[in-house]
Amino acid sequence: MGITVKNLVKSFDKKVILDNISFKVDDGKILSVVGFSGSGKSTVLKLISGLIEKDSGEIITSGGDIAMVFQYSALFDSLNVFDNISFALQERKDLRGKYTRKELEKIVAEKLELVGLSGIEEKFPSELSGGMQKRVSFARAIVTEPKIILYDEPTAGLDPISSTLIEDYIVRLKNETNAASIVVTHQMSTIRRTADSVLMLYNGHAVFEGSPEELCRENTPYTRQFVEATIDGPMKMN
Amino acid sequence: MKVYYKATYTYKFIRMFFQEFENIISTLGNVIMYGIELVKGLKNKPTTLKELMVQCARFGISSLPITLSIVGMTSVIVAMQVAGEMVKQGAGNYVGMLVAILMVREEAAIMAGFAIISMIGSSLASEIATMKVTEQIDAIRVLKVNPIHYLFTPRVFAGVLMMPLVVIISSLVGIIGGAIASNVVSGLSYKAYFDSVWFGLKMHDLQVCIIKSFAFGLVISLISCSCGMEARNGAKGVGQATTKAVVWSFVAIVIVDLIFAAACFY
């Protein structure tokens, strides 16, 4: 079932950020949400994850957990990698006490292996590179076997090689978990490598919806400007 | 056509006044709401003994050297100021009583409170504020853990449990400091000093001191955590939240102290 969003509206201080946005993401698929900074991309993720309340509209999810990977990883800097990844299993009301220490160690080791970072359980976030922090945050996100994974600019601030690695892991996690995923990004490379479909936002409106190939092929002023990354076009920086 | 009016200084002043008033009301409201949320979460055992111990060590042990120094020096200053004069006037037998009552009823609690606000309150506020602006609090929420229960409970309980201990030790150090200062400044014997302490200090004073310390611990930790939780706008927001926590905690413990003084001694 994935995620179905219907007529979503959200305003901050009377400024409309999202105006009647609708889209659908099936299980095992990735939707890329693209657009200018401030176009409401991250707001979409925060609304789906329940961090903020919508003004109106519907968000229907397939049940189960929703995981989110934050732009700057948002790892708990006072906890080591083991405690970061097992945080939900140790602290969540419905999961607390359910796992023994041995079971937690096994789960964390499995998740770390999945993101290619075995053996770093004792390290603290400050001892890891940006790319490693991002991958640890992936491991933390999937520890409760979520049905929906939300990525907020997962390749922001990373070098091209680390970005490619992260993009590969996004696809890998989708295949492993069969979760419906939404990736907010600015980068065409991320869209090309990960997305099954693309939603472009501008001034709170959806100005394009289709596949990555259609995004590159379509000749509307919005898509051309975004793909060619030109200043001239209908989309103006605020 | 839009018409813009230049804001007069009077208008700006009134606006600023009402903004500050709104700020006070909203901060007070937040502290109360977080307090209620904290109490609601207690039935689910939201913290571990280990985390509570970590926070107790932070609150009690790490703040102790500074607190004892401040309270000890204050008592020495008080004793130095009054002991000589009182001995000269033939009231040497009352020096111990005066210092002890001052320490137990007021100085130890309020000075320890100020020291703990400066050291621990500010650190609690900046820690939680940093977590807020770096989206760590959002991450806790997305992982379906209540950040108020998870972060506030061990910190507030540590405050409530450790503050009386800090204040009792500070009072003792203060009384002993007063004895040494009185002896050095005016030659008052230790026996006369401690007889006077024993005579002057009542159980009621100690009871009020301990209950007041619980209240101080609660107020300081809850306000500090709440101000941290309300931080926004990056590094500047962290600084503002920390300042707000310190200022509010200072004001709050003085108000609490006033209430206790009025309710228990008059």
Residues with Cβ within 8 Å of A119's Cβ and at least 6 positions away in sequence, in order, are A112
Q: Cβ contacts (< 8 Å) between A88 and chain B: which residues? A: 143-145
> What average pLDDT score do residues B67-78 get?
91
Domain count, chain B: 1
Among B180, B136, B6, B102, smallest CA distance to A83 is for: B136
Query: What range defines the domain where residue B130 resides?
Result: 9-265
Query: How many alpha carbons lie under 13 Å from residue A109 in its C-beta half-sphere?
Result: 7
- Quote the CATH superfamily of domain A1-64+148-238: P-loop containing nucleotide triphosphate hydrolases (3.40.50.300)
pLDDT band at B86 (very low <50, low <70, confident <90, very high): confident
A230 has pLDDT over 70? yes
pLDDT at residue number A160:
84
Q: In a 3-state reduction of DSSP, which class is residue A104?
A: helix
> What average pLDDT score do residues B131-137 get?
94
Q: Cβ contacts (< 8 Å) between A72 and chain B: which residues? A: 134-135
Cα B248 to Cα B138: distance, rounded to the nearest angstrom: 25
> What average pLDDT score do residues B70-88 get?
89
Q: Is residue B258 part of a domain?
A: yes
Q: Comparing B122 with B7, which gets the higher pLDDT?
A: B122
Question: Is B142 an interface residue toward A (CB < 8 Å)?
Answer: yes
Q: What does each C-alpha distance from B218 to A180, B155, B163 come to in angstroms? A: 44, 9, 9
Domain locations in chain A as residue ranges: 1-64+148-238, 75-146
Whole-model pTM: value is 0.86
Q: Cβ contacts (< 8 Å) between A71 and chain B: which residues? A: 135
B91 has pLDDT over 90? no
Q: Is residue B196 part of a domain?
A: yes
The residues in B 210-229 lying below 8 A from A, measured between CB atoms, are: none
Structure tokens given for A22: 């609708």
Q: Is residue B26 part of a domain?
A: yes
Burial of B108 from C-beta contacts in 10 A (0-12 / 13-18 / 19+): buried
B5 has pLDDT over 70? no
Is the Cβ–Cβ distance between A203 and A17 less than 8 Å?
no
Question: Is B233 an interface residue toward A (CB < 8 Å)?
Answer: no
Cα B153 to Cα A93: distance, rounded to the nearest angstrom: 14
Q: Is residue B2 part of a domain?
A: no
Cα A161 to Cα A82: distance, rounded to the nearest angstrom: 26
Residues with Cβ within 8 Å of A79's Cβ and at least 6 positions away in sequence, in order, are A87, A124
Cα A43 to Cα A152: distance, rounded to the nearest angstrom: 10
Contact flag A77-B138 (C-beta cutoff 8 Å): no
Q: Is residue B163 part of a domain?
A: yes
Cα B14 to Cα B20: distance, rounded to the nearest angstrom: 10
> What average pLDDT score do residues A133-155 get?
90
Cα A165 to Cα A179: distance, rounded to the nearest angstrom: 19
Q: Is residue B22 part of a domain?
A: yes
Lowest model confidence (mean pLDDT) among A20-24, A62-66, A228-232, B233-237 = A228-232
Contact flag A88-B144 (C-beta cutoff 8 Å): yes
Q: Which range is most confident: A59-73, A96-110, B43-57?
A: A96-110
Share above pLDDT 70 across residues of chain B, in percent, rounded to a whole number: 98
ipTM exceeding 0.90, yes/no: no
